[in-house]
Amino acid sequence: MAENERTAEDLFPQPEGAETPQEGGEQEQRAGLSRRQQRVSALLTRLAATARSFLLYDAHNEAISRFIAQLLDQFVSLLADEGPLTLLVQPFEIAFEGEVVYLNRDRDRSLAFRLYRDGVRSLRFRPGFDWEELAKLLEILSIRYTGVNQREEDVVTLLWKARFRNLEVVSVEGILPDDDETAGTDARWTDAMALPDHVDLPRPALPTPVGPSWVHVPAETLERLRAEASPAQVPADCVALLLRLRDDLNDPASHLAFEEVSHLFTEVRDFLLSEDHLSALKSYIGFVWGLAGEDAPEWDPDRHAALYELLETCGDRRAVRRLLRSVPAHERKLNPELIDVLDRACPDPFTAVADALQEETGAAVRAVGRQILEHYGKAKFELLEERFVAATGAMASDLLRVMANIGGDKAVDLIARQASHPDRAVQDEALWHLENMPYSGAVGRAFFDAFRWTDPVRRARVLGMIARTRDKRFLDLLAGFVTNQADGLSYGEAAQIGQVLGDLGGDGASARWAEWLAPAGLFRKTLPGPPARQVAAALALSEIRADEAAVILEGALDAADPEVQQWILGALAQRQRNAPRQP
């Protein structure tokens, strides 16, 4: 058989079990080639088949090693005879000296297609091409034959990284060939030869740049565009997105399960859990409730359980805490929509908010939280009392304020008792509420209870509240307090109580204070009772304008102890200052 009539099997015998070129769709045989071109054609045929089989067999396989050695011998022999070998790569063919020496239209197996697709346009082999370079080339070509990862590196990149010494590559960006490039050859580009989807398309032609021009936009259109881009529109857009998903969730054709889109519902929920998005949050909760009320489709039997679990997370302690923390720092007034949200999503708003307040310190959060507790605490006053008894610090003060605002007469006694609370903040809170309550008999009793139970510093504050009531019923109560507690009163505190006694009793009570200052004894006159009571009587008389008050004070002056004398003299001076001037 003549050499130019030998088949691919003769030129490249296969190892046992390997595919033959005909079986693999190897290159079509071409007639009319010169001997030199036939040698190049045979070389490329062997190169393509070896590259496809390179990774399929063990690198130490004796037959594979022999075939590679034979392929290298062909390269060395051809380069020695012909010198540098330049090959032009086209979409499905490789040309040498103007003639196609390799043609394979099977895009999955064509060596030319693999090279051309990745941007290789010519290969130039120089004498000296050795075993190491051939092994690198086979490895690169075999990777591109067998790789399926779209992110793999292309042939050009792999050839560049290999840094061949005796192989030059001319390349461009990987593109699809056009009609001009294939014109004049036997290959014809048809729909059947279309490139696969993962092949990069050529960059599209862009229009010629032009300068910007002014276009008038009506005010209504501008306003609509601004509204679409406004952050205020985002909550409504989130709910609208979920509404569109509802159709897909119920569409039998899509078979979309809620689990596949539950992350969207969760993200929207977390975004809407804010004091600024309460309206959209109400719509969201209502939408989820409605979706949960629908019959679950047969392809999504777990939908109801997932939706109810989602609803629980809209009103659990984490959600309530998040809503409270979103209250602006300057805000002190409860947004009624927050109550609507809690009513729809939270099974026990009172407990959830009360628990959250134990950890919050912001003034705005605590102010809004107290108002929420007032709303829900009207029906749970006993729970408020229980929590107050167990609370301390700011939490106890907040609960006391809540009870004062909603408890009415029922809370008055409780508030009065807190005047002796061990926590100073609670004491001050209690006194503030007593001072600002509408006055009544119950409040009056609370005043006196607070007066008895609190410390001397705060007692003066309560005494001022009592004085402002002008209620004469305090006269006997305060007088009895001085009589019973005189040994424990300082002169200064006794003087304050005495002034209130004189103001409340008026001129009609002079005889009562005279009894406290009446000198007794045969040889050395002394004043009766504890000195603190004497001081209280003296200051009570200082508030009485009747002349008999001065007579009583002057009569007690000589019989008083030196310390009490100073207070009596002060009372006389006070009367003179209070006396009306003579015209």
What does the pLDDT look like over 487-536, one tens digit per residue?
Answer: 999 999 999 999 999 999 988 888 899 999 988 866 667 888 899 999 99
Choose from 16-30, 149-163, 420-434 the range with maximum mean pLDDT.
Answer: 420-434
**Is residue 510 within 8 Å of residue 544, measured between CB atoms?**
yes
pLDDT average, residue stretch 317-325: 92
Q: How confident is the model at residue 31 (pLDDT cuts 50, 70, 90)?
A: low
Looking at the predicted structure, is the pLDDT value of residue 466 above 60?
A: yes
Residue at a domain's end among 189, 221, 255: 189
Most confidently predicted of 46-55, 132-141, 349-358, 400-409: 349-358
Q: Is 271 exposed, middle or buried (0-12, 13-18, 19+ CB in 10 A)?
A: middle
Q: Is the pLDDT of residue 380 over 60?
A: yes
Residue 333's pLDDT band (cuts 50, 70, 90): very high
pLDDT higher than threshold 60 for residue 350: yes
Percent of the chain with pLDDT over 70: 85
Average the pLDDT over 30-46 and give the result.
84
* 65, 112 contact by CB (below 8 A): no
| Environment class of 103 (CB within 10 Å of its CB; exposed 0-12, middle 13-18, buried 19+) | buried
Residue 267 lies in a domain: no
Given 189, 224, 253, which residue is the final one in a domain? Answer: 189
**The predicted structure's pLDDT at residue 145:** 55
Per-residue pLDDT, 17:
40
Choosing from 122, 155, 189, the residue where a domain stops is 189
User: Given this model, what pLDDT does residue 195 score?
Assistant: 52
- In contact, 372 and 334? CB cutoff 8 Å: yes
DSSP state letter for 188: -
Total Cβ atoms within 10 A of residue 386: 12
Residue 451, pLDDT > 60, answer yes
Domain that holds residue 184: 3-189
Confidence of residue 472 (pLDDT cuts 50, 70, 90): very high
Write down the pLDDT at residue 494: 93
Alpha-carbon span 157 to 171, nearest angstrom: 10
Distance CA 87, CA 104 (A): 16
At 148, the pLDDT band (50, 70, 90 cuts) reads: very low
Is 170 inside a domain boundary?
yes
Rounded to 5°, the CA angle 489-491-493 comes to: 60
Residue 21: per-residue pLDDT: 39
In a domain, 195, yes or no: no
560 touches 527 (CB < 8 A): yes
State the pLDDT at residue 173.
66
- Stretch 178-185: mean pLDDT: 42
Closest CA to 150 of 196, 92, 104: 196
Tell me if 8 sits within 8 A of 21, measured CB to CB. Answer: yes
Q: What is the reported pLDDT for 394?
A: 87
pLDDT of residue 502: 92
**Within its chain, how far is the Cα of 191 from the centroid?**
52
Residues 399, 49: Cα–Cα separation, whole Å? 87
- 253-283 per-position pLDDT tens digit: 888 999 999 999 999 999 999 988 999 999 9
314 vs 210: which has the higher pLDDT: 314
Please check whether residue 301 lies inside any domain of the structure. Answer: no
Distances in whole angstroms, Cα of residue 274 to Cα of each of 202, 281, 324, 365, 366: 48, 8, 8, 13, 16
In a domain, 342, yes or no: no
Mean predicted lDDT score pLDDT of the chain: 82
Give a yes or no: residue 223 inside a domain. Answer: no
Residue 207 lies in a domain: no
Q: Could you tell me which residue, 343 or 3, shows the higher pLDDT?
A: 343
What is the per-residue pLDDT for 56?
A: 62
Mean pLDDT computed over 97-121 = 87
Domain count, the chain: 2
Number of neighbouring beta carbons within 10 Å of residue 472? 12
Is the pLDDT at 180 greater than 70? The verdict is: no
Section 422-430 average pLDDT: 85
117-148 exposure pattern, b = at least 16 Cβ within 10 A, e = fewer = bbbbeebebeeebeeebbebbbebbbbbbeee
Look at residue 325 and tell me whether its pLDDT is greater than 50: yes
Tokens at 160, concatenated = 């560049």
Q: What is the mean pLDDT of residues 43-52?
A: 85
Task: For the chain, give the number of residues.
Answer: 583
526 found inside a domain? yes
Query: What DSSP element (H or E) covers 389?
Result: helix 381-390
Nearest to 429 by CA among 410, 464, 454: 454
Q: How far is it, in rounded angstroms, from Cα 508 to Cα 510?
A: 6
Among residues 238, 259, 256, 250, the alpha carbon closest in space to that of 295 is found at 250
pLDDT at 55 (0 to 100) = 61
pLDDT value at position 281?
A: 93
